[in-house]
Amino acid sequence: MSGYGEIREGVRALCAQFPDDYFRDIDAERGYPEAFVDALIGAGWLSAMIPEEYGGTGLGLGAASVIMEEINHCGGNAGAVHGQMYNMGTLLRHGSDAQKRKYLPPIAEGKLRIQSMAVTEPTAGTDTTRIKTTAVRRDDRYVVNGQKVWISRVQHSDLMILLARTTSLAEVRKRSEGMSIFIVDLRDAIGHGLTLQPIRNLVNHETNELFFDNLEIPAENLIGEEGRGFRYILDGLNAERTLIAAECIGDGYWFVDRAVKYANARVVFDRPIGMNQGVQFPIADAYIEIEAANLMRFRACDLFDAGKPCGAEANMAKYLAAKASWEAANVCLQTHGGFGFATEYDVERKFRETRLYQVAPVSTNMIFAYVAEHVLGLPRSF
Ligand SMILES: Cc1cc2nc3c(=O)[nH]c(=O)nc-3n(C[C@H](O)[C@H](O)[C@H](O)COP(=O)(O)OP(=O)(O)OC[C@H]3O[C@@H](n4cnc5c(N)ncnc54)[C@H](O)[C@@H]3O)c2cc1C
């Protein structure tokens, strides 16, 4: 858990250049934190997990998670950038040498962004094996047709990883087979077979519906073997879940910091409101929950970085952290009374932002299902 002091200081110093009103104004405009993201990329923080041979810093998941945590702890929202931290892992683990040489160095240099991954579809929902988007091989290309929903950061990315069916559900032995993943170069695709429809949502988070109408992708953009795409996506989930857990922990600390500050400063009935146990105990409770989630997050990181299985720990860390950050959000808002609702305190913005993580990228019930089945040996429920 210790040993990340320099990373924390470095990210904090960068974030200090982007104070609360920067994120508040972007939230009000429903904009994208372009200057912040440029600074993060320029300083190399988003290349943390790219190996040195491809121009990155070759750090582990623990270090990467600390970067994400600090962004959120400083009042920002790593949701604008976290895709790159785990999407590049899919390329690294399953891409060919040629793909890795082509894409990873410019990603590490900050010339190319791989912020998007398109899995979810409107009719399939959580049941990913029912996706209907197809990619059909024609000579040296694949032709893609279908629809995706909730696909984030597409307007601020150059590359997207796409999951599509290359063999129909009726023709496969197991429903998890017959899906493949591709690199889509969004600069070529948008307007040439791919159209976007932004989804306005609770958070200022750029996310979209995607429509594929005979989008052509070069066959060389297939990642790994045809038909094994679902397995490749699953391989990336532990890193994704652990990174999101770290963001929730960053949020949790932010809420506790702000609640403590306000509870010490606000005087009602001639004393700081924090002197009342009814105010201080919920803050202490929230802090304890965050600390506990943090232990599970570092357990997942340590296992991942040692190359050991960490599915249970990554899922449990994500669950505990998302729950703890949401509880801390509630406590922080309550501590601020009416002022919690005022945008200038930033509590309502962070409150909305942290709520997402009990739904996406994996909903709480799916984590329960994972633990019930894979850890406890209960029957598969769906
Ligand atoms: C802001 C945002 C950004 C997103 N970004 C991306 C992205 O970049 N790429 C991407 O591919 N997807 C993205 N998603 C999609 C996200 O991963 C899904 O919303 C999520 O996986 C849930 O799928 P769903 O919305 O279709 O819910 P559904 O599958 O319709 O489920 C609805 C509810 O029912 C519950 N449920 C369903 N089946 C069961 C069951 N068998 N047992 C118990 N409970 C069940 C679920 O847990 C959930 O709470 C994003 C979503 C949001 C909101």
Token digits for 176? 């998890």
Closest-CA residue, ligand 1 atom 4, reads: 150
Task: Give the dihedral sign, CA 93/96/99/102.
Answer: positive
- Asked whether the predicted pLDDT for residue 63 surpasses 70, the reply is yes
Annotation says 240 is catalytic? yes
Give, for ligand 1, the residue of 359, 367, 382 to mutate: max count of ligand atoms closer than 8 Å to Cβ.
Answer: 359
> Which ligand 1 atom sits closest to the C-alpha of 127?
29
User: Rounded mean pLDDT of the chain?
Assistant: 97
More confident residue, 50 or 382: 50
List, for residues 91-102, the tens digit of each pLDDT value.
Answer: 999 999 999 999
Element (H, E) at 272: strand 271-272
What was the pLDDT predicted at 1?
A: 55
**Is the shortest distance between the CB of 363 and ligand 1 below 6 Å?**
yes
Q: d(Cα 244, Cα 65) in Å, to the nearest integer? A: 8
- Residue 17: burial class (beta carbons within 10 Å; 0-12, 13-18, 19+): exposed
Percent of the chain with pLDDT over 90: 99
pLDDT tens profile 316-341: 999 999 999 999 999 999 999 999 99
Nearest atom of ligand 1 to the alpha carbon of 207 = 3
335 C-beta closer than 6 A to ligand 1: no
Ligand 1 centroid from CA 276, angstroms: 40
Structure tokens at 307: 């190359």
- CB 150 less than 6 A from any atom of ligand 1: yes
Give the pLDDT confidence of 22-49 residue by residue, as tens digits: 999 999 999 999 999 999 999 999 999 9
Q: How far apart are CA 178 and CA 126, in angstroms?
A: 17
Please give the average per-residue pLDDT across 269-281, as a whole number: 98
Residue 122 CB less than 6 A away from ligand 1: no
Residue nearest to atom 53 of ligand 1 (CA): 360
Kindly give the number of the ligand 1 atom that is closest to the alpha carbon of 119: 11
Statement: residue 302 has pLDDT above 90: yes
Q: What is the pLDDT of residue 2?
A: 60
Question: How sure is the predictor about 218, in pLDDT bands with cuts at 50, 70 and 90?
Answer: very high
Stretch 256-270: mean pLDDT: 98
Residue of the nearest CA to atom 36 in ligand 1?
A: 365
Q: Which residues contact 367 (CB under 8 A, 6 or more apart)?
A: 315, 316, 318, 319
User: Which long-range contacts link 107-110 to residues 24+ away (Cβ below 8 Å)?
Assistant: 107/47, 107/50, 108/44, 108/47, 108/50, 108/54, 108/55, 108/56, 109/47, 109/55, 110/41, 110/42, 110/44, 110/46, 110/47
Q: From ligand 1's centre to the CA of 116, what distance in Å?
A: 16
Q: Which atom of ligand 1 is nearest to the CA of 125?
A: 26
Q: How far is CA 300 from the centre of its chain?
A: 16
CA of 367 to the centre of ligand 1 (A): 12
* 379 secondary structure, DSSP code: P
Determine the distance separating the centroid of ligand 1 and the alpha carbon of 320, expressed in angstroms.
18
**DSSP H helices in the chain:** 5-15, 20-29, 34-42, 61-73, 82-94, 97-109, 186-189, 229-265, 277-305, 311-335, 347-355, 364-370
Query: How much is the pLDDT for 3?
Result: 80
Catalytic residue among 226, 240, 313, 353: 240
Has residue 141 got a pLDDT over 60?
yes
Atom of ligand 1 nearest to the CA of 382: 41
